Structure 1
Amino acid sequence: MAEMHGVIRSFLDWLYKASGVAAALCLIAILLLIVAQMVARWVGDIFPGAPNYAGYMMAAASFLAFASALNGGAHIRVSILLNAVPPKIKWMLEVWCFAIATATIAYFVYYAYWFVYWSWKFNEVSQAQDATALWIPQSVMVVGGGILLIAFADNLLAVLFKGNHRIGSNIVDQSFGE
């Protein structure tokens, strides 16, 4: 049982890091698209759809980064309140918050999935020059949301069974240069 838990834990940690790396690669893709568009303008050509592709990459970067940011402690939390209450109340607040967040993101992922499905079913395409099938960039929203759902459920289960979440501290070390 402990071995299975270790395998699942390793996979989940890898999944969160991989989604963060994918988000970073999307940001690099945005940079490359902007540079390609600038070069195209300098040589008197155009790069049709570059702003749209950059927009798709920005949305992908955002959704793919959510789970990694959550576990890294980059999401806004009401730590002042949580640190001011007794441990038992803190535990109940943590459970309540993670349960609401898990339910909310599950609701989002469910409807986002159907949004993508109907875009695919009706063969919706971008109205711009690129005419991209919209289900392709929209799918990343479902994938990133699904990974965030897993991260929230993971933290909820950690609070329920271990008494504490898995969110790291995002406190910057102030001892730099001393």
Structure 2
Amino acid sequence: MRRLLDALYDGAAWLAALFMVALLIAVLLSILGRQLHFNIAGIDAYAGYLMAAAGFLALAHTLKRGEHIRVTLLINALRGGPRKALELWALAAAAMLAALFAFYSCRLVWQSHAFHDMSTSNDATPLWIPQLAMAVGTVVFALAFIDELVLELRGQRARPASGEVLRNE
């Protein structure tokens, strides 16, 4: 199960990286279009979709690598049981919020598909298509938080080294 979850997080990160490369290409095409006097309809909207997809799909991988910003002032002052209790509370609350975020993201995709929502820009893209990356990203993010919570309950959660914490705070 551990290898499957890690592969899921890595796969989402690779997909996010692919979307970032596609975003770069879209921006370069837009710049070239302005310089060479041609227009690709909807390129700005697609760049926005690609940026959102990259951001949402990278959430879980970033969490699992300890790169999300955490305010550790209080937790670093605690030791033993109180520290573990606070970690468990924070992870449980985050897992619940991430699960709600995933639920409502998936619901938005379903509603956009059911109501045939279209982009209001000149690309006229069905909105459920770009929203799908958000839904997938939030579901994987919720799984990552649940994974972190289970690891903390089992006492298997990786603790960053003391110098390692400083790089993301």
TM-score normalised by L of structure 1:
0.86
Structure 1 residue 73 displacement after superposition: 1.1
Aligned to 1:44: 37
Partner deviation per Cα, 1:28-71 (whole Å, 9 max, x = no partner):
11110011122222332101111100100111011001001101
Q: Which residue of 1 aligns with 2:157?
A: 165
Paired position in structure 2 for 1:144: 137
Percent identical among aligned pairs is 38
Superposition RMSD in Å = 2.0
In structure 2, the partner of 1:17 is: 10
For 1:75, the aligned partner's letter is H
Aligned AA for 2:157?
H
Distance in 1 separating the partners of 2:24 and 2:30: 10
Query: Which of 52, 56, 74 is equivalent to 1:81?
Result: 74
Q: Distance in 1 between matches of 2:159 and 2:16?
A: 19
In the alignment, does 2:19 pair up with 1:31?
no
Distance 1:47 1:90 in 2: 55
Matched letter for residue 148 of structure 1: F
Counterpart Cα distance in 2 of 1:154 and 1:172: 20
Secondary structure of 1:171's aligned partner: helix
CA contact (8 A) 1:72 1:167 kept: no
Alpha-carbon distance in 1 for matches of 2:152, 2:141? 17
From 68, 72, 93, the equivalent of 1:100 is 93
Deviation at 1:172, TM superposition (A): 8.6
Pick closer, same or farther for the CA change 1:24–1:68 going to 2, 3 Å: same
Give the partner amino acid of 2:60. Answer: A
5+ long unaligned stretches in structure 2? none
Q: 2:52 aligns with which of 52, 59, 62?
A: 59
Shift of 1:164: 4.5
Distance of 1:95 and 1:57 partners within structure 2: 34
| 5+ long unaligned stretches in structure 1 | 1-7
- Displacement of 1:100 after TM fit? 0.3
TM-score in terms of structure 2 length: 0.91
Distance change (3 Å), C-alpha of 1:166 and 1:173:
closer
Deviates more, 1:32-41 or 1:121-130: 32-41
How far has the Cα of 1:113 moved from its partner? 1.3
Q: How many residues align?
A: 166
